[in-house]
Structure formats: C-alpha cells, structure tokens
Structure 1
Amino acid sequence: MTGNSQNPALTGAPQQARTRLSALWRPALVQAFVKLDPRQLLRSPVMLVVELTAVVTSLLCFVPAQGVSTGLALQIALWLWFTVLFANFAEALAEGRGKARADSLKAGGEGLRARLRTADGSYTSVAASSLRRGDLVRVEAGELIPGDGEIVEGIGAVNEAAITGESAPVIRESDGDRSAVTGNTRLVSDWLLVRISANPGESTLDRMIALVEGAKRQKTPNEVALDILLIGLTLIFLLVVATLQPFARFAGGDLPLVYLVALLVTLIPTTIGGLLSAIGIAGMDRLVRLNVIAKSGRAVEAAGDVHVLLLDKTGTITFGNRRCSALFAAPGVSAMALAEGALLASLADDTPEGKSIVDYLRALHPLQEPARSAVTAVPFSAETRLSGIDWNGRVLRKGAVDSVLDFLGRDRASLAPALAREIDSIAQSGGTPLLVCADGELLGAVHLKDVVKPGIRQRFAELRTLGIRTVMVTGDNPLTAAAIAAEAGVDDVIAEATPEKKLQRIRQEQAEGKLVAMCGDGANDAPALAQADVGMAMNDGTQAAREAANLVDLDSDPTKLLDVVRVGKELLVTRGALTTFSVANDVAKYFAILPALFSGLYPQLGLLNLMQLHSPQSAILSAIVFNALIIVALIPLALRGVRVQAADAASLLRRNLLIYGLGGLIAPFLGIKALDMLLVAAGLA
C-alpha cells in the first residue's frame, strides 16, 4: 500500500527553493574546488583557458630568470586561481539553490508502494518505482498517488502541496479536463483508479529533479551560440597576445612569459565566461520557484522572444467562476425583497457562484441573516440545479431558470414579459440567468457573468510596451467576446474558438516570422500547444495537453504564462547585459594596460598611459586583481537577473549599452588605477 505519512520536506519544497544564500555558501565553496576538474570545465571553455594559464603561471614561479620576481609571479598565479574558483563558486551557488529542493523531492519517493491491479482484477502491493506506463493502480483516501497518471474511475480531492506548495485540496475526476494527477501528491478523500502515464525517469517529479539540479541542465541554443562567440573572442585575443612578443623583440626588449599569460586572461571574456552557467541555472531556478516545469531550455528561451500570446478567456482573463453582477426584480416585487430572498437562498450554496451572490448582496444590502443552526440547508446539487433554505416556515430557492420553474410547477410561458426579456438578454450577452423564489412566489432574476480580473488590463498594457500582442481565445459568441476583450484590453480576440481555429491562427502568426505562446488544459488544446513555440499546459488538465506542451504549470494558473515570458526575457536581457559589459570591459583593459606595458620599450606610448600606472608590474597585477574581483561583484546580478523594464526592444538595447556598455568601458580604468595605487602603497608591486 502507499505510504501513510507525507514527507515534511516535500511540503516545504517551495520554501527550500528560496533558501537564503548564506545557508548555501559552504557546500558551494567545496564544489568550487571540485569543479576544478578540467573535465567539468569543458562546459566553460573560457574558464578552462584561465585554469590552464593558472597552472602555467604556477609552474613559472619555480622557473628562474623569467625577468619577474617570484613574489610577483606567485601573486599573479594566486589571483588566476581565485578567478577560476569564484567562477566555479557562482555556478555552484546557483546549482545549490535547486539541489536542496531536489534532495527533498527524491526523499519523498523512497519506499513508496502502490496497489497494482493484476490481470484477474485483484490488487497486489508493489514498489512505486517499478510501475510502467499503462499500469492501473488504486489509490485510497490518505494515500500518496504513486506516479503521474490519468484517472480512469472515481472522483476525489487531492492535496498537491508536495509539488505546488499549496495546501488547499483540488478536485480531480475521470472523463474531464481535470483528470490528470501527479505522483507524490496525496488523495484526501474517496478513491481513484489511475492509469500510470509515465515510465520511471519520465514523471513530473523526475523532470523537476532534473530541472533543479543545474549539473543536468542542457544548454540552450542561445548559450551554445554565446559559447561559440566567447571561444572566437578568446582565439582572437590569443593571436593578439602571441604577436606582442615579436614586437617587443623588434624594439630590443622582452616581455616575460608570466606577463603574456596574465595579459591573455585579462583580455579574454572571463567575466561573462565565468558567469554564463550561473545565469542560466539561476534563470531555471526562478522558473522552478514559479512552479513551472520546462521540458526543454529552448521553451524558456523562446518565451523571452515571444511576439504573440494566446490566452484562454475563462480562468485567465476572467475569474473562471461566474460572479453575481446584477439583480432584476419581477413586476410587483421590491428590490429589497429580491435581495433578501437571493441572499437567504444562497446561504447553503457553497459553489463559487453561490458565494459570489452572498458577497455581492452583503456589500450592497446589509441584511439580518439567520444562524446556520436555525435553518434547514438545501445545498446546491448538480442533479436538481437548485439550492436554498427552509427557515421559520419559509421556503426559499435559487437556481437555473427551468429548475426553479419546475419547482414552482410553472413554465416559461407563465413568466412576466419584462422578466422574460431580462432572462433572454442575460443569456444573449453570454451571462447566466438564475431565478429566485420564496414561498411559491417568483421574486426575480440574478445575473451571473464572467468578471475580468482586476489589474489584468494593466498587465496586458505592460506586455504591449514589450512588443507582445495578446489574443483572447474563447468559445463565446462574437458579441460577448468583443465586450470582454474591450474590458480586458487585449489586442485581438478569437470567438467561437475551435481546435482548428486556434491552430490556424498560430500557424498564420508563425508564417509571418513571429514566435507564439499558448496556454491550455483540455484535449482540444493539444494541437495548438504542440504547434506553439511556447506551449504551457495546466498540471490539472488532460494528459494529452501535458504531453503536447513544452511547459507544465504545477499550480494550474493560466496567468502564469505572463510570468514565464518575463523570466524568459530576464534570461535573455541578463545574458545580453553581462555580455555587453564583458566585451566592453575587455576592450577597455586592452587600452588601459598596453601603454603601461610597452612604455619602457616604446617611450612614445607613454602619452597613451592616461592613468599613469606606476610600472608594467603594477599594471599587469592590477589588471589580474580587477579581472577576478569584477566576477565577484557581478555574482549577485547573475543570480538575481537584470530586471526587465516595460519598454520596446530598441529602448532596452539603448539602456543596456548606456548602463553595461558604458559601464564596462569606464569600470576598468577606474578599478585598475585604484588597485595600482593600493598595490604600490602596500608594497606588493
């Protein structure tokens, strides 16, 4: 049978993903030394070059007649090792934030048992880790669901805190869009027969563990392209440094090999090379903290370049559950009598719609309410489509139009013309009309409608400034869809949407060279999710939708797609910003160091030594120290990410060039000069 107690570490998983950095620095420091293994540094070619130069410089400390004192060579070697270690530390720190959560998730699956149905219909207890796709398992109330699957029979409340961190149970049932369940979540009530949908190593839990363990994260195409750029720049500066010795010999001088090795490290793009892995891992960590699983890094990267967002209306733009917006009294009935009847008839209705009526009327007409113990409640039933109370001899009911009329023994033809017109008007506008009656008398109608979420219009406006166009997808008629679209502030709308319509629109946008994002939860969304560049499925949706998408939201919150887009943009902007800084930094160091290095051989270059560095020795040592410390200074930015401003691409580019490009040019001159003065004053150079 399944385990009887939930792992406490699992329920705290989201908090562990937010573990303070101060609790992670010790294991990260150990990993920084472990990562000195050249086989691990192959993932970062630039830092591999730095390590090799550190080894060479360390060996040169023991070689006499290099034209450099052993003390200076030793200082340069130590700072080179410091550079490699801190780059490794940044990567380990980023990985560590996810590994704590991964360890707790792994622990949650240990020893888990499942009740497997055999060919003769009986059940046998097996290890959950032995389950295969297609196996049928029965889960009873209080047990952990042993693996990802689709509900074949039953309905029950599931506590998904182990995965999402939310303790409120959610309803899962067969034959619907809420039939998928996730392994290691707990069934709170009833029983379920689940068909396992993933083999070992393929489940949501396994994907999450692989995602948060940075070492197993595959590089995205953008990172690979950036690696190629960094390797290219490294080769260029290698050629530049290799040509300096012939120039020195031509002038009758000589540049010590230690200087050349140190100069190479200061010129190659070590800043972005040392932080690139940390940026990517930290970006994925932010995605994990959003409770979103990415099946590929490409999807997250594409999210940063999305041009069009297709969003389902219900649950995304509107609340999903229709809410009370107005009351219409029948002829001869006062507004207060209708309000009182509707409020009392809704007290026993625990559905979101019933609660919205109570909330609406309590705010509009404060009325005296009976104690719960004094009434006989008639809860809402899907079979009768009625709810109400019996109280002090009174009979109050509220429900669907035909249901209330049947309760009263009447038909639609008996409705007053004015009330009938209101009911038809509500229905034609896309709303839901309910009737209220008390003691055999029809009091009037309640208008339930989709209510646009507060602040959603501002969010869409913010996306618009980022160059992203929003399209609302709904099954409503064009008139209703247009009204909601105008209220929400979307750019376009697809009314009476079918799977074919969604697919056609996505293909049309892609044919125009645009990247498209789509979110959905039903089987009819699967084609569109598979076609979209970024497809996000809801975890509580169908298995077809989850398999078709490349992102899965464990919270089943469609508005999360907007946050995923922001994370994708943060990743791209952070990489771009630090790459801009690194390249500008390298160019500045070239012009800051070379005049001082060659001033003894070519006195004319003394005019270009604007910072008046003390000597070639102090110049090269200051540059090495600056090169190491700038990585340390930028670690927090790499882990946090550059905040995305609500602006178009051109404005973001200008901002990056102004802040990080100009900053990268100025920082080396100021930093190297300050270090030169400090090192000379301390007698270290």
Structure 2
Amino acid sequence: MNAQTQALKQRAKIQTASVSSLWRVALVQAFVKLDPRVLLRSPVMLVVELTAVLTTVLCFVPNPAVDTAVAVQLALWLWFTVLFANFAEALAEGRGKARADSLRAGSQGLSAHRRKAGGEFETVAASTLRKGDVVRVQAGELIPGDGEVIEGVAAVNEAAITGESAPVIRESGGDRSAVTGNTRLVSDWLLVKISVNPGESTLDRMIALVEGAKRQKTPNEVALDILLIGLSLIFLLVVVSLQPFAIFAGGKLPLVFLVALLVTLIPTTIGGLLSAIGIAGMDRLVHLNVIAKSGRAVEAAGDVHVLLLDKTGTITFGNRRCSAVYAAPGVSSKELAEAALLASLADDTPEGKSIVEYLRGLYPMVEPARTEIEAIPFSAETRLSGVDWNGHVYRKGAVDAALAFIGLERGEVPATLSREIDKIAKSGGTPLLVTADGKLRGVIHLKDVVKPGIRERFAELRQLGIRTVMVTGDNPLTAAAIAAEAGVDDVIAEATPVKKLQRIRQEQADGKMVAMCGDGANDAPALAQADVGMAMNDGTQAAREAANLVDLDSDPTKLLDVVQVGKELLVTRGALTTFSMANDVAKYFAILPALFASLYPQLGVLNVMQLASPQSAILSAIVFNALIIVALIPLALRGVKVKAASASSLLARNLLIYGLGGIVAPFVGIKLIDLLLTALGLV
C-alpha cells in the first residue's frame, strides 16, 4: 500500500509539473501574441490593443479633467484585457501541443525493415518510407507507418494512438487489415504495405490538428468575426459622435474616457475568447480519438439532420457469426455441438472461427490436434467444408449442398428442423447444415451481428433530432431484420454507390445537413459527398481518404460524440456572444449617465447604479470588462454542455442564462468594483 501511495504521489507531482509548465508557456505566449500581425486574426482584440497603446500615450499628456493615476489604471487594465484574451488562446493551444509533443516523441528515431527488390530486408529510417513500400514488423516492434496487412495475423497495441490498452487483432484479407503507424506489435509478425507518404500519416494528421497549424477558421467563425467587426464599427461611430454632443452642450469629454468607453462597448468578451473556443473544441475531438481534416466538418456535425450508416462493418461487425445451433430430432445438443465444432476446426474463415468460439464456450471437449485431422476446405463447387478424423466424416455447408452430400431430399428433412431453417433464412441469417458420417445432425445459425450498444446510441441521436438511415447491399428482407434490431429510422436495401449518392444529394437538396459513416471502398463517393463523412480507421484506405473525419476507434456510434462537440462549439459561441452583447445594456446605464450628468442633469435619473464619479464609472467598467474574460476562460475551454432538446428550448435556455446573466452581472459587478475602488481611494 505504501508503494502504491508513493506511486500516486509521484504521478500527481508529474501532473502538477505538467500543468505548471503549461501555464508558464501560455503566460509567455500571451506577451508574444501582442504582435499586431498575430492579433489581426482577432480584430476586436486588435482594437483593444490599439486603445491600450493610445491610453498609455495619453497617460503622459497632462489633462486637468483626468487624474494621471486613473489614466494609468485604465491603461493597465486595458493591457490586462488583451493579455488575458491571449492567455486563453495560448492555454487552449498549449493543451493540444502537449499532446502533440507526446505523440511526436514516440515516432522519433523509428526504424523499419523494408523489403528490397530481391526479397531481402534492409533496416531504414521510418521517415524514408514511401507509399507502396513493404515492411516486416516483429513482435515488440513499432509499426513504422500507416498501411495494409498483406500477410500474417498479429495482436497490435494501439494505445499510443487511440488510448485503448487492450490489443486488437490485425490480419490480411479481412475487414481488420488496416494498421496505424506508431502502434506496437505484441505478438507474431506482420507484412505491411505502406499506404501513405511521409507527412500524411494518421500520426502526422493528429499532430497537425492539435497544434492548429493546418486549422483554418470555419464559416461559422468567419460569420461571427464579421458580426463582431460590424458591432465594433457601430460602437466606434457611437463613441465618436459623443464628443460633438458634449461640445454642443458646452462641455468636453476627456479622450481617455472615450477610448475606454469604446473598449467597454465593443464585444470584447466573445472577441477575446473566440479563438480559445474553437481550439478547445478541436482539442476535445482529438481526445475522442477522431481526426478532423477540417474544422468545417466539426461545425457541420453540430447541424446534422440525417445520418447514413453503412451496415457491414459499421452497424454490424462485418462478418457473419454463429448465434445459435438447433439439433435435429433424436440428436442431443452435445452430439450436434461436437459435430459442428469438428466440422469447423480447420475452417480459418471468420465464420468458422466464430462457430468454434461459440461451441467451445457451451460444450468444452478434447479437440484433436490440427496434425491429426484431414482438413476439407470450402470450395465453390461443393459449398461444403469440414474434416475427416479417426474414420469419421464431419461436414457443414449450404442446405442444398449438405443434403446432397448425405443423399437426402429437401422434403425429407424433419419438419421441426425445416421450420428452423426457414425461420433463419427469413430473419436475414444464413443456415448451415451439419452432418456426421452421412447423418444429419442439425443446423447452425449464422447472422450479421449488430454491435453492442448501438441501438441505445441511435435512440440518443433521435432525441437530438437526427434521423438514422442504414445503407446495405442486402436484400430487403435481410435489411429490414437488421434495421429493426439496430433501431434505425429508415433503411436503403440493395444499395449501390450510385443509390447512396442519390439519397445524400436528395437530402441536401431538401436543405438537410447529411452525415455518412462508412468503411468500404464503395462508401468513398458517399463519404466525399456528405457534409460530414466519418470513416472507420480499420476500413479501406479509399474510405479514409474520402472522409473528412476518421475515427481511430472504428466505432460508428462515435458520431454522436462528434455531433455533441459540434453543438457545444456552436452553443458556446452563441452563449458567449449573447452574454457579451447583453453586457452593453448594463454598461450604458453605468457609464453614459455618469459621463453626461454634469452636462445633462436630466440623465441623473438613469444613473441607477449611483456610481461615485465619471472616473469611477469608466474605471469600474474597464475592470469588469477585463475580469469577466478571466472568469469565462474555463467555460470557453470546457464548452457549454448540450442536452437533447428542441431548438426553441435551447434558445430559451440560452437567453435566460446568458442573456439575462449578461445584463445582471455587470450591474452587480460594476457597482461592487466601484465601491471597492472608492474605498481604496484609487479614484
């Protein structure tokens, strides 16, 4: 227990050191980002910096209407506002870069055993590998790059990329043939054909994504920037027009007050946190083990109306699996299990392996060694497979082929077994008859197994207003059975790539945002056409290249989490924009009556806050403006949580919490700051 406690303490120290380092780097970057060329990405904060510079200059210009101490405080708080907005962005970037550094560290100095033209292998640096190169990876070695397994079966630990500690099986010729660079082989060996060039691997994309090097602003961010710039220009005109009004009334407003007033009125809150919100959203996506090739896909995920999912490998496991066995009349369950297991013992197909796995759990038996049996492989001519062992003949196969093998007609099959065969076929499954020494033993039910938990996730999508459509090449009967089990809203049976494209285009023509999940080469056109295309990492290379999202865990229900992140991004920006604009209502009541009370005594009735003086009003508003950004940094990084609800309910909640809160908070905050400044004698 003592050793465990020490380990926990050591881990806590490491985490504390990491967080401390992250904050130090972010603090330094906050000053680096004061470069106007950097702040051009955030026009609102560029305005704040320019006003901070101007206010700093005005501190050295004597003005009897403004105490120098107040002018200095205004300048300091304006600089504080810019620095903390930069700090929020740097902190969001730092979290991603820390993850990128850990990913990059694992790939440095990696070597590979590349096959030469003569068939021999040479050791080269992994960075020199090119698309099409073939490499050999042994147990304990790291896979040097993304590729497809062309020979071998092995367990792979993908924790370095996906975070999943349990090894997964990768083998040639199946649905699990894709491997990811920087993952470790824990058993056997693999021959891998590299599928990408340097700089294009999954690891490279993750590093580029979390570092933000290739991240461009999404249309939503661009639109919000335009809104913020428009509001800033409007308030600039308002502030500029105040001086003529003051002169007309026989007075004059100090320039430093007008500059400070501009900062309090423009939407500095959302302007200062906008970049941090976007970066933090992409960071949350990376932590879900989803690679986004564009921010547009994440934004679009928040507005998805229809989700198309390929059945094979996405909704189902992709390989038919044994789900039940039914014995013929007069045959015991144990006799059927023994015959079926022996008939499948030499069958290396996924179906054969699933039969062995299923029956071993039900009826353990002493199995013969592979060297003791004569394997009869499946062939298209016989449509049977099995083994000959100890003078016994065990076979399994298609109904008609198995009956012909033992010399039975279809009408001679016992009625109870015949009904089970028909029931399996009508449910979309595949019946395989089992025979032993020329006698019928029973039937095996093979079915395309729906992935666990997928029905519940589809129900959650339905609550978010997203309609699910299963796409499959199966006949309508089989498709309907699987669709009912999975809980999808609609199904497209006997689907071709053209049919998928037509459905997506039809939905888009109706104004719907469409998402598509797939893993096969035949899904590539639909993935490219969809607004949000998410490919499974263990799918084909064509699917991964066509999609704009790649799920490293190959879990189609992950799209629910992606939708959640997309909605959080949209709602967080909307919430903070509402809060920022609502702030202006309170600031008007705080500052304008105080500034014009001496010129227009009638405005005194609007001075509901009863602030001490014009100088106190301006300084209190500037201090509140800076501190509110600090207070909202955690919300910007975490995001506003979204629950399943209608758009009207979300809007009402947004207005109640952030609209009303944006009005009330400044009234309370500015008044408290005014009392504190007055009590401390700072104004």
- Tell me the TM-score normalised to structure 2 length: 0.87
2:249 partner letter: A
Cα RMSD between the aligned structures?
3.5
1:227: which partner in 2?
225
Note the alpha carbon deviations across 1:500-541, whole angstroms, 9 max, x for none: 221121111112221111111111111111111111111121
Query: Equivalent residue for 1:488?
Result: 486
3-state SS of 2:491 partner? strand
User: Which has the larger displacement, 168-177 or 70-79?
Assistant: 168-177
How far does residue 158 in structure 1 lie from its aligned partner after superposition? Answer: 3.3
Which residue of the partner structure matches residue 429 of structure 1? 427
Cross-structure match for 1:269: 267
Question: Which residue, out of 22, 35, 38, partners 1:37?
Answer: 35
Write the distance in 1 (CA, Å) between the matches of 2:91 and 2:429: 52
Distance 1:172 1:461 in 2: 31
Which of 525, 528, 547 pairs up with 1:527?
525
Q: CA deviation at 1:230?
A: 0.9
Moved more, 635-644 or 171-180: 171-180
Q: Does structure 2 conserve the Cα–Cα contact (< 8 Å) formed by 1:613 and 1:673? A: yes
Q: C-alpha distance in 1, partners of 2:275/2:313?
A: 36
Q: 2:158 aligns with which of 160, 169, 174?
A: 160
Q: What CA distance in whole angstroms lies between the structure 1 residues aligned with 2:122 and 2:314?
A: 42
Structure 2: runs of 5 or more not aligned: 1-13, 379-383
What's the CA shift for 1:202?
2.1
Q: Which moved more, 1:658-667 or 1:168-177?
A: 168-177
Residue aligning to 1:11: none
Aligned to 1:5: none
CA contact (8 A) 1:176 1:542 kept: no
Pair 679,441 (structure 1): closer, same or farther in 2 beyond 3 Å: farther
Question: Can you list the C-alpha shifts for 1:28-78, whole angstroms capped at 9, x where unaligned?
Answer: 222212222222211111111111211222222222125211211121111
SS of match in other structure, 2:304: coil
Change (3 A) 1:400 1:171: farther
Q: Does the 8 Å CA contact 1:375/1:389 hold for their aligned counterparts?
A: no
Distance 1:418 1:609, change over 3 A: same
TM-score (norm 1): 0.86
Q: Provide, for residues 251-308 of structure 1, a one-character-per-residue CA deviation record: whole Å limited to 9, x for no partner.
A: 2222112111111111111100110011000100111011111111111111111111
- Within the candidate set 255, 278, 284, 1:286 is matched to 284
Name the residue aligned to 2:622. Answer: 624
Tell me if structure 2 keeps the 8 A contact 1:405–1:412: no
Structure 1: which amino acid aligns with 2:483?
Answer: A
Aligned to 1:96: 94
**In structure 2, how many angstroms separate the alpha carbons of the residues matched to 1:407 and 1:492?**
40
Q: Is 1:561 aligned to residue 573 of structure 2?
A: no
Q: Does the CA-based 8 Å contact 1:388-1:396 persist in structure 2?
A: yes
Amino acid at match of 1:220: T
- Report the secondary structure of 1:518's partner residue: strand
Q: How does 1:248-259 map to 2 (within 5 A)?
A: 248-259=246-257
Q: Which residue of 1 aligns with 2:637?
A: 639
Secondary structure of 1:24's match?
A: helix
Secondary structure of the residue aligned to 2:86 is helix
Q: Distance in 2 between matches of 1:185 and 1:267?
A: 52
Q: Mark the CA change 1:558 to 1:410 in structure 2 (over 3 Å): closer, same or farther.
A: farther
Aligned partners of 1:155 and 1:348: how far apart in 2?
16
Match of 2:103 among 102, 105, 108: 105
Distance 1:91 1:489, change over 3 A: same
Assess if the C-alpha contact under 8 Å between 1:404 and 1:437 holds in 2: no
Partner Cα distance (1:171, 1:537) in 2:
19
The 5 Å alignment of 1:101-180 reads: 101-119=99-117, 122-180=120-178
Q: Determine the structure 1 residue equivalent to 2:474.
A: 476
Per-residue CA deviation, residues 89-119 of structure 1 (Å, 9 max, x unaligned), is 1111111111111112222222222334455
Other-structure match for 1:240: 238
Q: Taking structure 1 as reference, are residues 605 and 456 closer, same or farther at Cα in structure 2, changes over 3 Å only?
A: same
**Gapped regions of structure 1 (runs ≥ 5):** 1-15, 362-368
User: Alpha carbons of 1:615 and 1:213: their partners in 2 closer, same or farther (altered >3 Å)?
Assistant: same
- State the identity %: 78
Q: For residues 407 and 113 of structure 1, what CA distance do their matches in structure 2 show?
A: 56
Comparing 241-250 and 215-224, the one that deviates more: 215-224
SS at match of 1:510: helix
> 1:530-549 alignment to 2 at 5 Å?
530-549=528-547
Q: Following superposition of structure 1 onto structure 2, how do residues 180-579 of structure 1 map, counting pairs within 5 Å?
A: 180-214=178-212, 216-318=214-316, 320=318, 326-333=324-331, 351-352=353-354, 354-356=356-358, 376=368, 383=377, 400=397, 413=410, 415-434=413-432, 442-453=440-451, 455-579=453-577
Partner secondary structure for residue 183 of structure 1: coil
Verify the 8 A CA contact 2:344 2:355 in the aligned structure 1.
no
Instruction: Measure the CA separation in 2 of the matches of 1:156 and 1:232.
Output: 59
Task: Tell me the equivalent position of 2:72.
Answer: 74
Q: Offset at 1:442?
A: 4.8
Going from structure 1 to structure 2, the CA distance change for 1:114 and 1:458 (only over 3 Å counts) comes to: closer
**Alpha carbons of 1:635 and 1:236: their partners in 2 closer, same or farther (altered >3 Å)?**
same
The answer for the alignment partner of 1:601 in structure 2 is: 599
